[in-house]
Structure 1
Amino acid sequence: MTPTEQRPEKDRSGSDEAFLREVDDAVRASDLTHFWTRYGRWLLAAIAAGLLAFGGWIVYHNQKQAAADLQSELFVDAMDKLRAGQEKEARAQLATLAKADQPGYRAMAQLVEANLLGEDGETKKAVALYAKVAADSSLPQTFRDLALIRQVSAEFDSIPPQQVIDRLKPLATPGNAWFGSAGELTALAYLKMGKDNLAGPIFAQIAKQEDLPESLRSRSQQMAGALGVDTVQVDAKRNAASKADETASKGE
């Protein structure tokens, strides 16, 4: 077969490939047209809904931030009024903040109001408000713990010492953020029970906490010394116990 005779087969093969591509493109275009006809409006609706949701989230976030900024300004202004002696105006603003959506400012407003009630001699009302904050699970735990300490402190002389110890047990532990205040109240409760041997070590531990206020540490060191507990001895016992634990774990 001559080269001249083979050329038409090559040309026919090329035209077949071109035809197949055209058919494939036509099928794809038809499928796309069919898809768009059937699902196009739903797809547009979904995209529109997504854009609306995103826009709504932005608006909500901005409104929430604006509300938080307003509550912050209101709280600062209330504190300024208290310092300026404008207690009536300040307490009115605190009453508004006590109903705020932002839990942090809501908690702070109630704690300040409870403090003011205590200063006014209305101890029962102050204790009730502290208890309300401490029991409010919608508030940050830090504020709830502070409210519990303030509540126990306010009614320290009117409740059994064991109740003080039981309430503050989770907080009166070295390493806890509230160990200083809770530990001191716990130690004082042990003193009321005549358990000096339990109160002394707690005072000594407080005295050794370098991150606590110096006034609290100094007071605790004096109490520990008065009870015959040396803070150096407490450290020595703690180190000895730690080494004993390490030795036991290595032995295992």
Structure 2
Amino acid sequence: MSDDSFFREVSSELRQDKAKDLWKRFGPIMIGGAAAIVIATAAYVAWDHWSTNRANVSGDIYLQALSQAREGQTEEAKASLAQLEADGYGAYPVLARMRAATLLAQSGDYAGAIAGFDSVAADTSVPLSIREMARLRAALVLVDHGSYADVAQRVETLTSDTNTLRHSAREALALSAWGEGRFADAATLFTQITEDEATPLNLRRRAELMSELIRGSGSAS
């Protein structure tokens, strides 16, 4: 045997011994890590499947409630929404609360509707954007069934130049002010709406009409 062959065999045996030693030391860890990855992947897939199924079921119930409401099956719609509020998944329970309050308003229970919207607005577990929408919805009901102070209490903070709901909040305040004979306040709010470049076109037109009405009646002075 040549020296080169001898050294190659020795080197090979040393590598094998080192590999065996490394496997003894780290093999169980590697196996455990691989098993953990497999288990975690399986758990995620199972959770995703379960989550998707729950969301689909909740979505079906919500669509059913909307269909029942459209068809005039108010009590059935309320029952579907109550089920969704109790057992729904994801955002559907809070959507059910909002829709239930809307149904109350449509059926003439304005106090119940306002209480429903106020309940969502006060729930800190609900995303801020939905809470602000609930405040606006309550204010819109109060335009015809409450005072200017009631409306202002809910939406005055939504009228800031950076709030995305400012246009509708200003309109609610303006209409409420106009209804109470506070024509100067109403005119100021309608002007804010018309001068805001981001105001939606249909809302701008309503504000322009109301501004013309107030000016034409001489009530803003």
TM-score, normalization by structure 2: 0.80
1:159-178 pair list within 5 angstroms: 159=147, 161=149, 164-165=151-152, 167-174=154-161, 176-178=163-165
Give yes or no for contact 1:206–1:217 (8 Å, CA) kept in 2. yes
> How far off is 1:81 after superposition?
1.5
Structure 1 spans left out of the alignment, 5+ residues: 1-11, 230-252
> How far off is 1:182 after superposition?
0.5
1:212 aligns with 2:200: yes
Residue 222 of structure 1 corresponds to which residue in structure 2?
209
Q: Tell me which amino acid in the other structure corresponds to 1:113.
A: A
1:1-252 pair list within 5 angstroms: 15-99=2-86, 100-103=88-91, 105-156=92-143, 158-159=146-147, 161=149, 164-165=151-152, 167-174=154-161, 176-191=163-178, 192=180, 194=182, 196=184, 198-207=185-194, 212=200, 214=202, 216-228=203-215
Alignment partner of 1:101: what SS? coil
Q: Tell me which amino acid in the other structure corresponds to 2:90.
A: Q
Structure 2 spans left out of the alignment, 5+ residues: 217-221
Give yes or no for contact 2:167–2:199 (8 Å, CA) kept in 1. no
Alignment partner of 2:158: what SS? coil
Alpha-carbon distance in structure 2 between the residues aligned to 1:159 and 1:102: 35
Alpha-carbon distance in structure 2 between the residues aligned to 1:193 and 1:20: 105
Q: 1:84 to 1:190 in 2, by over 3 A?
A: closer
Tell me the number of residue pairs that the alignment of Structure 1 and Structure 2 aligns: 212
TM-score, normalization by structure 1: 0.71
Give yes or no for contact 2:101–2:112 (8 Å, CA) kept in 1. yes
Larger Rg: 1
Alpha-carbon distance in structure 1 between the residues aligned to 2:71 and 2:63: 12
> How far off is 1:42 after superposition?
3.0
Deviations 1:16-68 (A, max 9, x none): 44433333322221121122223322321221121011111011111111211
RMSD: 2.9
Task: Give % identity.
Answer: 27
Q: Tell me which amino acid in the other structure corresponds to 2:129.
A: T
Q: Tell me which amino acid in the other structure corresponds to 1:212.
A: P
Q: 1:17 to 1:167 in 2, by over 3 A?
A: farther
Deviations 1:148-204 (A, max 9, x none): 11122334554552x6335323422456432232011222455548471x4324313
> How far off is 1:113 after superposition?
0.7
Q: Tell me which amino acid in the other structure corresponds to 1:29.
A: Q
> How far off is 1:83 after superposition?
1.7
Give yes or no for contact 1:174–1:205 (8 Å, CA) kept in 2. no
Higher relative contact order (CA 8 A, sep 6+): 2
Q: Tell me which amino acid in the other structure corresponds to 1:77.
A: Q
